[in-house]
């Protein structure tokens, strides 16, 4: 079975993986927590987004009615701000 993956899918999953690992590096426990937690969850857990649609419907082809989003810089900036807040709050170990 040949699985076709779009450039957009690869870019979005790769960005998520890089961000998850970078945020994991902020943890004060060190690199070991990144290797056993952040890398495992981001690399393995999100890889399904690359191939899940072909497994759900193997005969599926690209349709003319595909969902497309236009780039809106306001949403991109908001996403960057939310990611920075998330990383600064939850990246380091939270001690209760």
Of 21, 61, 18, residue with least CA distance to 38? 21
Confidence at 35, pLDDT banded by 50, 70, 90: confident
Residue 64 structure tokens: 């003319």
Tell me what pLDDT residue 63 has.
58
Average pLDDT, the chain: 75
**In the predicted structure, residue 66 carries a pLDDT above the cut 70:** no
What does residue 45 show for φ and ψ, rounded to 5 degrees?
Answer: -70, -30
CA–CA distances in Å: residue 13 to residues 6, 91, 92, 96: 11, 20, 23, 32
CA–CA distances in Å: residue 5 to residues 1, 47, 68: 13, 11, 16
pTM over 0.85: no
């Amino acid at each position: 079975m040949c699985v076709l993956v779009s450039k957009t899918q690869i870019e979005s999953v790769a960005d998520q993986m890089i961000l998850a690992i970078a945020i994991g590096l902020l943890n004060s426990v060190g690199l070991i927590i990144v290797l056993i937690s952040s890398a495992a969850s981001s690399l393995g857990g999100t890889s399904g987004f690359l191939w899940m649609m072909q497994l759900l419907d193997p005969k599926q082809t690209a349709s003319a009615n595909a969902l497309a989003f236009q780039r809106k810089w306001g949403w991109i900036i908001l996403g960057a701000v939310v990611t920075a807040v998330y990383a600064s709050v939850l990246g380091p170990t939270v001690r209760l």
